[in-house]
């Protein structure tokens, strides 16, 4: 094999390694994502509330088996 073929083969193989090491990023669907809560008021009634404009993403790195979640909840 000459130098050019070896270089090309090395480049192709390294591209495969880069794609395997790439993290997957999943964005939240704002229409179907919410956080709801219930507050018990002296066991006589229950107040319900929620936040409905949540945005965020989940990043998963399969080669490291690590995940990171970033969430933004507007509270005002």
pLDDT in tens, 9-63: 555 555 555 445 578 999 999 889 999 999 999 999 999 999 998 999 999 998 8
Average pLDDT estimate for 56-73: 92
- Cβ atoms of residues 29 and 45 within 8 Å: no
Global confidence as pTM: 0.54
- Helix or strand or coil: residue 46? strand
pLDDT on residue 14: 54
Q: What is the pLDDT of residue 20?
A: 52
């Amino acid at each position: 094999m000459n130098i050019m073929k070896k270089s090309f083969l090395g480049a192709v193989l390294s591209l495969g390694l880069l794609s395997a090491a790439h993290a997957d990023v999943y964005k939240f669907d704002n229409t179907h994502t919410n956080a709801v809560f219930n507050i018990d008021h002296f066991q006589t009634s229950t107040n319900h509330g929620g936040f409905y404009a949540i945005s965020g993403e989940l990043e998963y790195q399969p080669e490291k088996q690590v995940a990171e979640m970033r969430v933004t909840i507007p509270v005002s």
